[in-house]
Structure 1
Amino acid sequence: MSYVQRAEYGVRPASHVDEDDPLFVQAVARAMQVLSAFHDTGRPLSLNEIATASGMGRSAAQRVVHTLRQLGYVERDADDRGFVPGIRILDHTRDYLRLNPLVARASPVLLELRRNVRERVDLSLRDGLRLVYAARLQSKRETFFATLVGQSVPIYCTSGGRAVMAHLSDAEVDEIIERSERREITPKTITDPEGIRAKVREARQNGYALAMEEVLQGEVALAAAILAPDGTPLGAIHIAGSLSEWEPEGFCRRFAPLASEAAGALSRF
């Protein structure tokens, strides 16, 4: 069995898992597969659907689901239509956020940036072919999509992703493009490899990356990369606004220096 953990806009390849490792516990991996079955759904799942999504037989899935229900990590939804993740998963989200040193350092920086820009401010962290939002400070235009910590977006077509790629080699950028499922999220999403490379080159030249309506229609977003001491991009600071209120040039002129300053402050550790 291949233990592939699926995530929105990205896949963690099975090649990352060595099932012959004597320390590898398959029962734990099966539990993670069941929990990962909920990544791509917008509704409760039946036992058969969980078994199919997790790549295991119904009997094995039933045992894992039963165990996770006993522990509070899976539960029946309020209308008894199927299974949903349980509340105890939030305990682990809290643990990750409070014990991640970058997230902890970012909190005062993000709050100050939000006070200055009065637009949405996000912190994202890189995970393979995607960025995962670890902090989100809302503007006056709140949507459910834009409030969720843990929401992920693909690297290839987002301002944060291009800011990250700007600090990678051309070979690494090409690998990301090749491995990404380059689909149109909106009619403005750039999926052509050369178009993506051009946006990365633009980000290298400017010191920040810009994306317009590539994930959300009507949204303009810019981002600056957060770097480890060795120069490895760890994630990005994003600022997002509405094209009904901003021209792209004015948005960049106003906010790019602030995003770069905030990302630079978080890169110095």
Structure 2
Amino acid sequence: MPDATTNASLGLSPRDAGPAVGEIDERLFVASVGKAMKVLETFDKTTASLSLSDIAIRTGLGRSASQRFIYTLERLGYLDRDEQTKRYTLAKKVFRFAQSVVSSNTALDAAYPAMRDLAERTRETISWVEVDRADIVIITTIASTHISSINLPVGTRFPALSSSSGQVLLGHSAPAHIEKVWNASHESVPGRTRAKDAAEMMRILEAVKAEGFAVTEKNMEQGSISVSAAVHDRAGRAVGAINLSTLTTRFERPAAIRDLAPLVAAAAARATETLSA
């Protein structure tokens, strides 16, 4: 199984363009755009500032090509350059994309009142989550009021198949799609899910679909429990998930299933009803 992080867009052809789920039409694929996006994607929460050499190494584009893309992105306003250190950071202009994703999200608008009420009732971290190819992405979060809690900043990503939100959303997908997601997933997924292949993963997802919610555990700084349920649109499509994240010091798995899962499922059902009205 390929690593969705390290295999993304390191080369110059569509075949190396990252963990896309589905075939790429080489006649339509613009390689230069893929390279430019790879430069932007090099920046993350652990590498907020990078030198030209850093970018060239991380992207695999070479120093000369990286310099041209960096200059272009800086002139367009998507990168900032520190004149003293000669290092680059993402510019504020990139927030335009995040703002558009959130402000135009009708499903999130419909779900937010239920999310807010769930946060007030449980005092836990509540998030709206969507699938992006082989990952899930945190679109918005209502922070926990507990002193010790799970922090899930907007834009945080996890492998979909081993995440509770990904499982409730992909549980409604066709087997062929699950196989594509499996093949594009991070190498940690088999160990996390204990699934040996896509067929076994599909059986796990079918059980999640029948249950109506998913519960997964993560070993972060502290042990955590994640509980999710899917929200559906008028056509019955799973468009997003409401996720509750808590610490195992407050809820071990049996308690999370007994006490939290029904609340999350009820919130998702309420959001579905609002979205379908």
Is the pair's TM-score, using the shorter chain for normalization, greater than 0.5? yes
Code of the residue aligned with 2:13 in structure 1: it is: S
Code of the residue aligned with 1:231 in structure 2: it is: G
Pick the aligned partner of 2:20 from 4, 12, 18: 12
Residue 152 of structure 1 and its aligned partner are, at CA, apart by: 0.8
Q: After TM superposition, list the pairs within 5 Å mapping 1:6-155 onto structure 2.
A: 11-12=19-20, 15-16=23-24, 18-21=25-28, 27-39=32-44, 42-76=47-81, 80=85, 82-139=87-144, 140-141=146-147, 146-155=151-160
Looking at structure 2, the residues matched to 78 and 142 of structure 1 have their Cα atoms a distance apart, in angstroms, of 40
Q: Which structure would you say has the larger RCO, counting Cα contacts within 8 Å and 6 or more residues apart?
A: 2
Residue in structure 2 matched with residue 2 of structure 1 by the alignment: 13
Give the SS at the match of 1:147. Answer: coil
Q: Which runs of 5+ in 1 are unaligned?
A: none
Normalising to structure 1: TM-score of the pair?
0.81
Residue 26 of structure 1 and its aligned partner are, at CA, apart by: 5.4
Pick the aligned partner of 2:193 from 190, 195, 211: 190
Q: 1:191-228: CA deviations, max 9, x gaps?
A: 43367455424312321011022667510111001223
Residue 133 of structure 1 and its aligned partner are, at CA, apart by: 0.6
1:202 aligns with 2:207: yes
Give the SS at the match of 2:92. Answer: coil
When residues 31 and 172 of structure 1 are mapped into structure 2, their CA distance, relative to the original with a 3 A threshold, is closer
Q: Which runs of 5+ in 2 are unaligned?
A: 1-11
Residue 88 of structure 1 and its aligned partner are, at CA, apart by: 1.3
Residue 131 of structure 1 and its aligned partner are, at CA, apart by: 0.7
Which piece of structure 1 moves more, 94-103 or 56-65?
56-65
Code of the residue aligned with 2:81 in structure 1: it is: R
Looking at structure 2, the residues matched to 243 and 221 of structure 1 have their Cα atoms a distance apart, in angstroms, of 10
Q: In the comparison of the two structures, how many residue pairs are matched?
A: 259
Give the SS at the match of 2:250. Answer: coil
Looking at structure 2, the residues matched to 85 and 258 of structure 1 have their Cα atoms a distance apart, in angstroms, of 39
Code of the residue aligned with 1:237 in structure 2: it is: I
Q: 1:33-55: CA deviations, max 9, x gaps?
A: 32122258535222133234434
Contact between 2:230 and 2:268, CA under 8 Å: does it hold in 1?
A: yes
Q: After TM superposition, list the pairs within 5 Å mapping 1:230-269 onto structure 2.
A: 230-267=235-272, 268-269=275-276
Contact between 2:21 and 2:181, CA under 8 Å: does it hold in 1?
A: no
Identical columns (%): 25
Looking at structure 2, the residues matched to 78 and 106 of structure 1 have their Cα atoms a distance apart, in angstroms, of 45
Give the SS at the match of 2:236. Answer: coil
Q: 1:134-188: CA deviations, max 9, x gaps?
A: 0111112567x82310111111111111112322234433443333223179xx8
Residue 85 of structure 1 and its aligned partner are, at CA, apart by: 1.1
Contact between 1:163 and 1:209, CA under 8 Å: does it hold in 2?
A: yes
Normalising to structure 2: TM-score of the pair?
0.79
Code of the residue aligned with 2:193 in structure 1: it is: I
**Large movers: runs of 4+ above 6 Å:** none
Code of the residue aligned with 2:209 in structure 1: it is: R
RMSD: 3.1
Give the SS at the match of 2:54. Answer: helix
1:163 aligns with 2:174: no
